[in-house]
Amino acid sequence: MTYIIAEPCVDLKDASCVDVCPVDCIYEGETMFYINPEECIDCAACEPVCPVAAIFAEDNVPEEWKNFIPLNYNFDYTAPR
Ligand code: SF4
Ligand code: SF4
Supply the CATH number for residue 23's domain.
Answer: 3.30.70.20
For a pocket test of ligand 2, which of 35, 38, 73 has the largest count of ligand atoms closer than 8 A to its C-beta? 35
pTM: 0.95
Contact by Cβ (8 Å): 6, 65:
yes
In a domain, 80, yes or no: no
Range of the structural domain that residue 24 is part of: 3-74
Tens-place pLDDT, residues 19-31:
999 999 999 999 9
Give Cα 8 to chain centroid, integer Å: 11
Tens-place pLDDT, residues 19-64:
999 999 999 999 999 999 999 999 999 999 999 999 999 999 999 9
Q: What pLDDT is stored for residue 42 in this prediction?
A: 98
Does 45 contact ligand 2 (Cβ within 6 A)?
yes
Domain count, the chain: 1
DSSP letter for each residue of the chain: --EEE-GGGTTT---HHHHH-TT--EEE-SSSEEE-TTT-----SHHHH-TT--EEEGGG--GGGTTHHHHHHHS-TTS--
How many Å lie between the centroid of ligand 2 and the Cα of residue 21?
5
In a domain, 79, yes or no: no
